[in-house]
Amino acid sequence: QQQVKQSPQSLIVQKGGISIINCAYENTAFDYFPWYQQFPGKGPALLIAIRPDVSEKKEGRFTISFNKSAKQFSLHIMDSQPGDSATYFCAASGNAGNNRKLIWGLGTSLAVNP
Amino acid sequence: DGGITQSPKYLFRKEGQNVTLSCEQNLNHDAMYWYRQDPGQGLRLIYYSQIVNDFQKGDIAEGYSVSREKKESFPLTVTSAQKNPTAFYLCASRSLVGGYTFGSGTRLTVV
C-alpha cells in the first residue's frame, strides 16, 4: 500500500528553469516531511524537511510548499542547474510507534539540460 | 567525522551462499534501518531496529536476517532463501528529531 504518492516519475528541465515535484500523503498522523536527493551509486542525502506548522520552507534554491488540508507537499528547485540532476525522494512520518518509520515516495528522476 | 560506513561497496554472491553486509555508525543514533533499492521501485524496508537487541521486520524481510548486538552496528545477512538478491542495499540511522543519515550503499550481485 503506497501511502506517499510522488509525481512525476521523471522530469526534464532546462538550465535556469524551475523543477517541481509533487507528493501526496494519506495518513493524517504524519508530521514530518523530508526530501532526499540521491546521485547514482550513492545513498540518499537529506535536502530539506518541513513540519506542518508552516506552509513553506526555503533553503537556498530549494523550497518546500506544504498544504495540510490537501495533504500535499511539493519541492521547487529554482534556477535548476545540471548539477541538480539526480533522483529526488519525498517521504513522511509521524512521531509515535510505527508512525516513526519514514514512508517513501517512489522517486523522481530529474535531468537538467545545459 | 560522524557518519555511516557500509562495507563492502561491491559484493558478489554465488548461488546458495549466505553473505553479510556491514553497517557501522558513529552518530550515537538509536534507530537503524536496512533498505533495498531496485530500479524504479524506490526504497523498500527490509529490517529496522529502534534499540539494541531488538529489531522488527520491514516490508520485504523474507530471505534476510539481522542482528543488533551493539548500538553502532547493524549487519544484514542475505541468505540463500532470498531468490533475487541482486540489488543496491542501503543502511540508515535516525536521529531523535527525525532525519535519516544514509551510508553509501553496497551493490550485491549474484554470479
Contacts of A49 in chain B (CB under 8 A): 98-99
Mean pLDDT of A90-97: 82
Q: B99, A49: Cβ pair inside 8 Å?
A: yes
Does pLDDT of B40 surpass 80?
no
The residue type at B95: S
| Percent of chain A residues topping a pLDDT of 70 | 95
The residue type at A43: G
Per residue in B67-95, pLDDT (tens digit) is 999 999 999 999 988 889 999 999 999 98
* Under 8 Å between Cβ of B84 and B41: no
Does pLDDT of A1 surpass 60?
no
| Percent of chain B residues topping a pLDDT of 90 | 80
On whether any CB of chain B is under 8 Å from the CB of A73, the answer is no
Does pLDDT of B33 surpass 70?
yes
Q: A42, B99: Cβ pair inside 8 Å?
A: no
Using the Cα atoms of residue B93, residue A104, residue A33 and residue A59 in order, give the sign of their dihedral. Answer: positive
Phi/psi for B105 (5° steps) reads 90, 155
Does pLDDT of B24 surpass 80?
yes
Does pLDDT of B3 surpass 80?
yes
Mean pLDDT of B37-50: 90
Q: B100, A42: Cβ pair inside 8 Å?
A: no
Mean pLDDT of B54-75: 96
Per residue in A27-78, pLDDT (tens digit) is 998 999 999 999 999 999 999 999 999 999 999 999 999 999 999 999 999 9
Contacts of B100 in chain A (CB under 8 A): 34, 36, 44, 46, 102
Q: A105, B98: Cβ pair inside 8 Å?
A: no
Give CA–CA dist A60/A83, Å, rounded.
Answer: 15
Contacts of A48 in chain B (CB under 8 A): none
Q: Looking at residue A65, what is its pLDDT?
A: 96
Q: Which of A2, A21, A23, A6 is nearest to A73 (CA)?
A: A23
**Nearest CA distance, B22 vs chain A (angstrom):** 15
Give CA–CA dist B21/B24, Å, rounded.
Answer: 10
Does pLDDT of B101 surpass 80?
yes
Q: B45, A32: Cβ pair inside 8 Å?
A: no
